[in-house]
Amino acid sequence: MPIPPAGTTPPLPPAPGTPSPPPGPPTPPIPLAELLAIKDLGLRRIAGPAEAELLWVHTSEMADPYPYLLGGELLLSAGVLLTDPDHYVGRLVEAGAAALGFGVRPVHETVPGALTEACDRQGLPLLEVPPETPFTAIARAVWRLMAEARHRELRRVTRAQQALATAAARPDPVPAVLHQLAAQLGGRAVLLTARGEEVHAAGRPLPPETAVALSRLTRVVARERPGSPASATDTHGGTHLSAYALGGGEGLVLALAAGQRESGDHTVAGIAVVLLSLLAAPHQGADAAGRSAALVRMLLGADPAAVAPLLGAAGPWRVVHARRTDGTPADALTAGALGASLGTALVDAGRGGPEAVRLLLPGTGAQGEAVRPLPEAGGITPQPGWTLGVSAPTPVTALDAADALAARALTHAQATRAPLAVDAPVRGLAALVPPEQAAAHARALLAPLTEPLADTLRCWLSLHGNWDRTAVALGIHRNTVRQRVGRCGKLLDADLDDMDVRAELWFALRRG
């Protein structure tokens, strides 16, 4: 029987003639070279290939130990009943033995030449065991190597888990997790749709043929078909391929390609699958069925105020506009992660283009712990990697106006390089003027201005007449800003250097 590690129960052998599938190894396999490197054992490979992996140690003097082998063993024998070396080696190879260790003396003075030839011919590594080395010492050495390998594997998995968790907390969690996973596995990590369309990728690019093979493997686990497996593996041109279906009902698949597959890779990939499933899953802060019902009712003509409770809150609401601080476009998954951080699933990702991500927050929004929220932002905190513009609280019937206010706040935040800006509600003296009268006055005063000119003037006034910041906020040259503001002054027949004029125009632009 294979000699088990201390504290474990040896497996019962299958009945002769009815071999069962081998169970998974309790520890990582040990390269034969590591065992041969232990000089105290005095082992010497005299036949067969140099590369082999050991899963067990088994000692037997039976003429045919085949029924008692599980596969992957280093079989130790002194050849007590060895009569037909060629048949004996053939049965070991058929059983899946990894190597044969032959002890010399007292039965045989040397390793039989016929046994050496048979091992060379059938590709079974043959080790010569000197008489001073007991078989138990070899077994003890193998189990010690396995314990060390398991310890190294656990340390590697722990480090990978910490690195992946840190990546998942970044502002761009999905690409960060993929990048870290590719680095941990030394290959390529790709997030694909069920149809094989690439969403994100990290690591070394694959040759076209390997990429096609990986895409085919993706369709094996894609959950568009009933009964699809949760994972699948394959090899292509020496590259190990694997695919894992993500949970969350999004139909996404994590595909991996690496030049070699090491012990612990499957565990590391499993950690990434859990994290990506959570990041890709829709936020469950409000009932999905209720949200769908609300949207359907509004499309069919229902009053927004009547369906607001189905969206999770009756109000007030805030609109948030967000852009990546580094200027890169935000995809749907990254935008969804931002929504989860702010406590909402109502996210418009802007189709991954330069448009701002728009979010609708019921109530006062989520409140973070690491950064103190701005009181006027309703508990919304700055988000690392994002620039936010937040509207004032508004009823559900005025979300279109709040959308414009959030856009203005985002423009102001970008111009001032602030992580978050809030469009505060009208208060003070301005709140004393009835909204209808204020709007009528604003329309009359600003009638000569086109929309681009009005937007430029509004931005310029909000930034206290700073030409450079206005140019940054609007994405135009500062000379263009000067020309537009000068044009506004002529059309309005007003001196824009006069503080009273600026105050009145600001009031009109805010209420118009």
Query: What's the chain's average pLDDT?
Result: 79
Residue entry with tokens 């409000």 = 286
* pLDDT surpasses 90 at 48: yes
Give the lowest-confidence range in 29-33, 128-132, 287-291, 408-412: 287-291
Neighbours of 107 (CB within 10 A): 14
**pLDDT tens-digit series, residues 441-475:** 667 777 888 888 888 888 888 888 888 888 888 88
What is the band of 424 on the pLDDT scale with cuts at 50, 70, 90?
Answer: low
- pLDDT at position 22: 39
Token code pair at residue 165: 């968790």
- pLDDT at position 101: 95
CA distance 69 to 72: 8
- pLDDT at position 280: 74
**Among positive and negative, which fits the CA dihedral 466, 467, 468, 471?**
positive
Q: Which residue has the higher pLDDT, 68 or 261?
A: 68
Q: What is the mean pLDDT of residues 45-53?
A: 93
The residues pairing with 6 across neighbouring beta strands, listed in sequence order, are none
**pLDDT tens-digit series, residues 63-94:** 999 999 999 999 999 999 999 999 999 999 99
- Contact present, 496 and 502 (Cβ < 8 Å): yes
- pLDDT at position 19: 37
Alpha helices in 366-420 (DSSP H): 399-416
Residue entry with tokens 């991500």 = 357
Peptide bond into 173 cis (omega under 30): no
Percent of the chain topping pLDDT 70: 79
How many helices, marked H, and strands, marked E, lie in the chain? 16, 17
Q: What is the mean pLDDT of residues 29-49?
A: 93
* pLDDT surpasses 80 at 132: yes
Q: Which residue has the higher pLDDT, 268 or 225?
A: 268
Element (H, E) at 257: strand 252-258
Neighbours of 368 (CB within 10 A): 15
What is the band of 156 on the pLDDT scale with cuts at 50, 70, 90?
Answer: confident
Would 30-145 and 169-280 be classified into the same CATH topology? no
- pLDDT at position 152: 86
Element (H, E) at 33: helix 32-36
CATH of 169-280, one of 3.30.450.30, 3.40.50.300, 3.40.50.450, 3.40.50.150: 3.30.450.30
Q: What's CA 19's distance to the chain center, in Å?
A: 41
* pLDDT surpasses 70 at 176: yes
Report helix angle 451-462 to 467-474, nearest 10. Answer: 130
Radius of gyration of the chain (CA): 35
**pLDDT tens-digit series, residues 391-421:** 888 887 778 878 888 888 888 888 778 888 8
What is the band of 131 on the pLDDT scale with cuts at 50, 70, 90?
Answer: very high
**pLDDT tens-digit series, residues 332-342:** 777 877 887 78
Domain ranges (residues) in the chain: 30-145, 169-280, 288-425, 430-511
* pLDDT surpasses 70 at 12: no
| Buried residues in 273-311 as b, exposed as e (16+ CB within 10 A) | bebbbebbbebeebeeeebeebeeebeeeeebeebbebb
CATH superfamily of 30-145: HprK N-terminal domain-like (3.40.1390.20)
Indicate yes or no: pTM above 0.85: no
CATH of domain 430-511: 1.10.10.2840
Beta-strand relationship, 99-103 and 73-77: parallel
CA distance 125 to 29: 16
- pLDDT at position 77: 95
Give the lowest-confidence range in 60-64, 269-273, 304-308: 304-308
Percent of the chain topping pLDDT 90: 24
Q: What is the mean pLDDT of residues 121-127?
A: 95
Beta-strand relationship, 317-324 and 252-258: unpaired
**Among positive and negative, which fits the CA dihedral 441, 446, 451, 453?**
negative
CA dist 203 → 28, 165, 192, 257, 277 (Å):
26, 18, 15, 9, 20
* pLDDT surpasses 60 at 8: no
Top mean-pLDDT range of 6-10, 18-22, 97-101: 97-101
Residue entry with tokens 């003097």 = 61
- Contact present, 174 and 279 (Cβ < 8 Å): yes
What is the band of 281 on the pLDDT scale with cuts at 50, 70, 90?
Answer: low
